[in-house]
């Protein structure tokens, strides 16, 4: 959803190489176009369409002079990905440059007014109104800080903005509403960015300005001002994620690196037990629970519903965040609404959280420390997956599941399940260590145009997640189905060209799933099953199988059986020549 960076170096050195490195770390937020602006007696701008490496080859960002500047990587929302629409955007006198993440709802009206006043626009973005307005307010006598503040009052929608003006050299001014923004203190200089992975190489002491606050960066330091311009003293939070955690470290892609990190993500999240116990105690009695999330986090939530209902006997709903407001009238003070989010910044989830807070207790399970939802929810659990850069969620999904399992098991005082959870990292590593054989299997499925994933009970959300992973990075159409539901319509689509991936762990649902497997077999489907080691019946009825440790039963299956499905999607994507870390049209953090 666009990444923005700003940096001011303490010494008189060129900032462009630093800005370039930082913005490269944010490519997971968008990669349609990129641009940098630096100041060296004038504002220099280079920008272009395409990803960072391509545009850098054409323009050589690193030779831009000036000890401070701003940078942007774009995920197009308003206006196509074209060179003109790439950020930074400037006013028509090249005095003010701005990078922006978010979407403005009233940009057309503002643009029309500015055009009437004689301003000329060159892009079709919403952002371009911002530098024009800042310039106009500065011409009317405001300083850069006040002009940015006034601009924030005029624009509607979501934004994180960093602005610089040649009329106030040596300064960056940033503000935000509904879009993430951090400022960070480093040895070499001061930084502002959408997210911490941008700056980890340079700075790890971070402040997250609240909505409406203004951050002012100079080479002397960073000040945060409130809406009246009064300085607010804040203590930076030290981020213990190391820079290496956000690097590929010899792996071909972040996605495969992150898949191999899953056992650690689960192990580290299990370390949250004491914290989760404390939270359950403070929440007290609840009559009803509702999970709210999007995408992969929504699939983790379905597992949560099955767990809470079967272990704790509490009625539990799962709602897609963007649909939450339609059910909001049914929640009350005895309801706990649990928000699941990797980023903690997803717009739909945050809006639902705002609604839920009006009536109910709220808990956010989030991976990114200090993200918006950690501040907005009443209670907060941090999953311990470390930074996830690949756009497709993998390790954060297993970390979310781990937190949900712990939460449900602790609520139900199910020590047996908790003991089981401690064995999960070993089971995950067994699958990951077999990845070469899964790579071979994957080669036989890259022809597919459509695929189905089937599972029952706890395996149903695994099927949904398997299908999502396949479609988002391989662009193969895939559907996840409750195995028993297939005969109510989609069975008509099954023929000998359609792979069906059946998730069939040992447990209560095994025999019923076997019936569904036989149904698709009878229609000629190519069946790839994920089953327990030594499960002869499944092997006999499938074209081929991926075997999982037979100790993994159906209840903990989501934490282990999801892994081969991630690996299949990864290898099919590589086989097809696509980049799994940067699927088309997607971005890591959806703040619109
Ligand atoms: C898919 C994926 C997305 C996210 C969704 C919610 O691999 O990553 O479906 O799960 O956009 O994002 P968060 O969890 O950050 O709220």
Same domain flag for 284 and 408: yes
Q: Is the separation of the CB atoms in 561 and 462 below 8 Å?
A: yes
pLDDT in tens, 536-560: 999 999 999 999 999 999 999 999 9
**202 lies in the same domain as 239:** yes
Residue 22 pLDDT: 96
Pocket test for ligand 1, best of 29, 30, 254, 296 (most atoms within 8 A of CB): 296
Report pLDDT for 453: 98
State the pLDDT at residue 76.
79
Residue 591 lies in a domain: no
State yes or no: is 2 an active-site residue: yes
Do 27 and 51 touch, CB atoms closer than 8 A? yes
Share of the chain above pLDDT 70, in %: 100
- Residue 312 has a pLDDT of 93
On whether both 35 and 177 belong to a single domain, the answer is: yes
Ligand 1 test: best mutation among 255, 294, 404, most atoms within 8 Å of CB? 294
> Using CA of residue 155, residue 156, residue 157, residue 160, what is the dihedral sign?
positive
Could you tell me the pTM of the whole model?
0.84
Cα 377 to middle of ligand 1, angstroms = 18
Tens digits of per-residue pLDDT, 239-258?
A: 888 777 778 888 999 999 99
**287 in a structural domain:** yes
Contact, 212 vs 177, CB < 8 A?
yes
Residue 169 inside a domain? The answer is yes
Do 224 and 119 share a structural domain?
Answer: yes
Residues 344, 303 contacting (CB under 8 angstroms): no
Domain containing residue 493 = 435-580
Angle at 28 between CA 23 and CA 30, to 5 degrees: 80
The string of pLDDT tens digits covering residues 357-416 is 999 999 999 998 778 899 899 999 999 998 899 999 999 999 999 999 999 999 999 999
Give tens-digit pLDDT for 96-138: 999 999 889 899 999 999 999 999 999 999 999 999 999 999 9
One domain for residues 159 and 20: yes
* Interior/surface letters 452-479, b for 16+ CB within 10 angstroms, e for the rest: bbbbbbbbbbbbbbbbbbbbbbbebebb
Above 90 in pLDDT, residue 325? no
**CATH label of the domain that carries residue 465:** 3.40.50.10490
Write down which residue in 185, 213, 245 finishes a domain.
245
Per-residue pLDDT of 141-181, as tens digits, reads: 999 999 999 999 999 988 999 999 999 999 999 999 988 89
Distance in Å, CA 322 to ligand 1 centroid: 13
Ligand 1 interacting residues, C-beta cut-off 6 A: 294-297, 341-343, 346, 349, 392-393, 468, 472, 590
If you average pLDDT over residues 25-42, what whole number do you get?
91
Domain end among 201, 229, 245? 245
What pLDDT shows up at residue 405?
98
Please name the residue whose Cα sits nearest to atom 5 of ligand 1. Answer: 295
Question: With bands split at pLDDT 50, 70 and 90, how would you rate the model's confidence at 531?
Answer: very high
* 153 and 140 fall within a common domain: yes
User: Does residue 590 carry a pLDDT above 90?
Assistant: no
Cβ-Cβ contacts under 8 Å for 357 (sequence gap 6 or more):
376, 377, 378
Residue 330 above 90 pLDDT? no
**pLDDT at residue 260 greater than cutoff 80:** yes
Amino acid 286: pLDDT = 96
The rounded mean pLDDT for the chain is 94
Residues 6+ apart with CB under 8 A from 537: 514
Q: State the distance from the centre of ligand 1 to the C-alpha of 248, rounded, in angstroms.
A: 21
**pLDDT tens column, 52-95:** 889 999 999 989 999 999 999 998 778 888 999 999 999 999 99
429 lies in a domain? no
Domains in the chain, number: 3
pLDDT of amino acid 331: 87
DSSP state of 20: H
Answer whether residue 587 shows pLDDT above 90.
Answer: no
Residue 408: which residues within 8 A CB-CB, separation 6 or more?
304, 307, 308, 311, 312, 414
pLDDT range class, residue 501, cuts 50, 70, 90:
very high
In three-state secondary structure terms, 309 is: helix
Pairing verdict, β 450-455 and 499-504: parallel
Same-domain status, 30 and 175: yes
For residues 75 and 203, state if they share a domain: yes
The sheet carrying 221-225 orders its strands as 89-90, 96-101, 159-165, 172-177, 214-218, 221-225, 231-232
Name which residue leads in pLDDT, 330 or 137. 137
Distance CA 90, CA 72 (A): 13
């Amino acid at each position: 959803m666009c990444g923005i960076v700003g940096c001011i170096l303490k010494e008189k050195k060129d900032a462009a190489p630093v800005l370039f490195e930082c913005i490269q770390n944010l490519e997971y937020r968008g990669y349609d176009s990129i641009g940098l602006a630096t100041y060296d007696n004038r504002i220099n701008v280079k920008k272009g369409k395409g990803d960072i490496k391509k545009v850098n080859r054409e323009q050589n960002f690193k030779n831009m002079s000036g000890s401070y500047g701003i940078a942007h990587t774009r995920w197009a929302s308003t206006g196509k990905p074209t060179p003109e629409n790439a950020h930074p955007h400037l006013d028509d006198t090249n005095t003010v440059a701005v990078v922006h993440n978010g979407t403005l709802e009233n940009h057309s009206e503002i643009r029309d007014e500015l055009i009437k006043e004689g301003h000329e626009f060159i892009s079709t973005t919403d952002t371009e109104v911002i530098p024009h307005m800042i310039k106009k307010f500065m011409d009317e006598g405001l300083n850069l800080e006040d002009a940015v503040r006034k601009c924030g009052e005029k624009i509607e929608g979501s934004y994180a903005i960093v602005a610089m003006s040649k009329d106030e050299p040596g300064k960056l001014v940033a503000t935000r509403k509904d879009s993430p923004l951090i400022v960070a203190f480093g040895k070499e200089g001061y930084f502002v960015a959408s997210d911490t992975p941008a700056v980890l190489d340079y700075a790890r002491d971070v402040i997250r300005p609240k909505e409406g606050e203004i951050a002012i960066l100079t080479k002397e330091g960073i000040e945060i001002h409130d809406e009246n311009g009064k300085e607010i003293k804040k203590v930076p939070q030290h981020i213990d994620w190391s820079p290496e955690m956000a690097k590929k470290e010899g792996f071909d892609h972040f996605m495969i690196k992150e898949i191999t990190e899953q056992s650690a993500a689960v192990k580290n999240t299990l370390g949250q037990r004491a914290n989760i116990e404390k939270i359950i105690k403070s929440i007290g009695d609840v009559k009803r629970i509702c999970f709210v999330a999007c995408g992969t986090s929504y699939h983790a939530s379905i597992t949560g519903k099955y767990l809470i209902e079967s272990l704790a006997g509490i009625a539990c709903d799962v709602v897609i965040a963007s649909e939450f407001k339609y059910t909001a009238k049914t929640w009350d003070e005895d309801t706990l609404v649990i928000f699941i989010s990797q980023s903690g910044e997803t717009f739909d989830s945050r809006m639902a959280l705002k609604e839920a807070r009006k009536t109910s207790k709220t808990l956010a399970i989030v991976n990114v420390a200090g993200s918006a939802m950690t501040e907005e929810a009443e209670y907060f659990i941090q999953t311990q997956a470390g930074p996830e850069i690949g756009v497709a969620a993998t390790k954060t999904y297993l970390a979310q599941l781990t937190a949900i399992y712990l939460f449900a098991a602790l609520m139900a005082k199910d020590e047996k399940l908790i003991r089981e959870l401690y064995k999960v990292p070993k089971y995950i590593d067994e699958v990951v260590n077999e990845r070469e054989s899964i790579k071979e299997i994957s080669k036989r499925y890259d022809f597919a145009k459509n695929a189905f994933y089937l599972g029952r009970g706890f395996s149903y959300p695994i099927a949904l997640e398997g299908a999502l992973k396949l479609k988002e990075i391989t662009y193969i159409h895939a559907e996840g189905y409750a195995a028993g539901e297939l005969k109510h319509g989609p069975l008509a689509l099954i023929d000998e060209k359609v792979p069906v991936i059946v998730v069939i762990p040992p447990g209560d649902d095994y025999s019923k799933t076997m019936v569904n497997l036989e149904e698709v077999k009878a229609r000629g489907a190519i069946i790839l099953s994920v089953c327990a080691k030594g499960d002869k019946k499944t092997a006999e009825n499938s074209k081929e199988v991926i075997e999982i440790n037979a100790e993994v039963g159906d209840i903990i299956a989501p934490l282990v059986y999801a892994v081969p499905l991630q690996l299949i999607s990864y290898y099919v994507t590589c086989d097809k020549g696509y980049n799994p870390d940067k699927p088309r049209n997607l971005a890591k953090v959806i703040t619109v």
